[in-house]
């Protein structure tokens, strides 16, 4: 069951966006139902609807800059930043940005990872909207919020295309505004 929820997007448009997201069973491993946003990205109207919905959130929250988590958050966040006339901050996996960087490490079910932001790219006090495609367990999103705050930014909100409610990722983001377009009650990969 999928619930269409993002404020500012009419139900019929949100349903169309949902229908453009493909379910890929057993990817990247057996038993996982992967939510593939590639058909949505390839559809000009669907992509425009998502950008419009995220843009409305940013306007409501009073955002100064948009950040996206690697890699699909780049594909959604950069056009939102452009639509708002704002800058875009890529939050990258460790080792992908030239030094100096700020870094936050976080635990995964199979180990740990780090996310980085290039030093000097975030103005202290700037209000940041963090965007990504999927909210699963919330580990990466919580690390992204911590990284923005560590660099002196203020997290105005986190916005996701899809939330996998069964994984309770929202619980790890307490104290932050969290918005999602599609809420799915069964787990899948991100």
Q: Is 155 helix (H, G, I), strand (E, B) or coil?
A: strand
Task: Spot the catalytic one: 13, 18, 72, 92.
Answer: 72
CB contact at 8 A, 101 and 115? no
**DSSP annotation of 169:** G
d(CA 101, CA 172): 24
d(CA 169, CA 20): 23
Measured torsion, CA atoms of residues 117, 58, 163, 52, in degrees rounded to the nearest 10: -120
CB contact at 8 A, 180 and 135? yes
Active-site residue 109, yes or no? yes
168: left (phi over 0), alpha (psi -120 to 50) or beta: left
Q: Give phi and psi for 4, each to the nearest 5.
A: -90, 125
Task: Spot the catalytic one: 12, 13, 16, 109.
Answer: 109
Determine which helix (DSSP H) or strand (DSSP E) holds 89, and give its type and residue range.
strand 87-93
Query: What residues act catalytically?
Result: 72, 109
């Amino acid at each position: 069951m999928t619930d269409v929820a993002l404020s500012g997007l009419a139900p019929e448009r949100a349903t169309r966006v949902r229908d453009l997201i493909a379910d890929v069973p057993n990817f990247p491993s057996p038993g996982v139902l992967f939510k593939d946003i590639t058909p949505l990205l390839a559809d000009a109207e669907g992509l425009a609807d998502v950008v419009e919905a995220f843009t409305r959130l940013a306007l409501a929250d009073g955002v100064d800059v948009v950040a996206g988590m690697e890699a699909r958050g780049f594909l959604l966040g950069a056009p939102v930043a452009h639509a708002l006339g704002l800058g875009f901050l890529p939050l990258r996996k460790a080792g992908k940005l030239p030094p100096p960087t700020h870094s936050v490490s976080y635990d995964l079910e199979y180990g740990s990872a780090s996310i980085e932001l290039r030093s000097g790219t975030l103005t202290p006090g700037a209000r940041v909207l963090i965007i990504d495609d999927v909210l699963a367990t919330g580990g990466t999103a919580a690390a992204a919020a911590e990284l923005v705050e560590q660099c002196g930014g203020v997290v105005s909100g986190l916005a996701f295309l899809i939330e996998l409610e069964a994984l309770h990722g929202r619980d790890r983001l307490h104290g932050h505004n969290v918005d999602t377009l599609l809420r799915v009650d069964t787990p899948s990969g991100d």
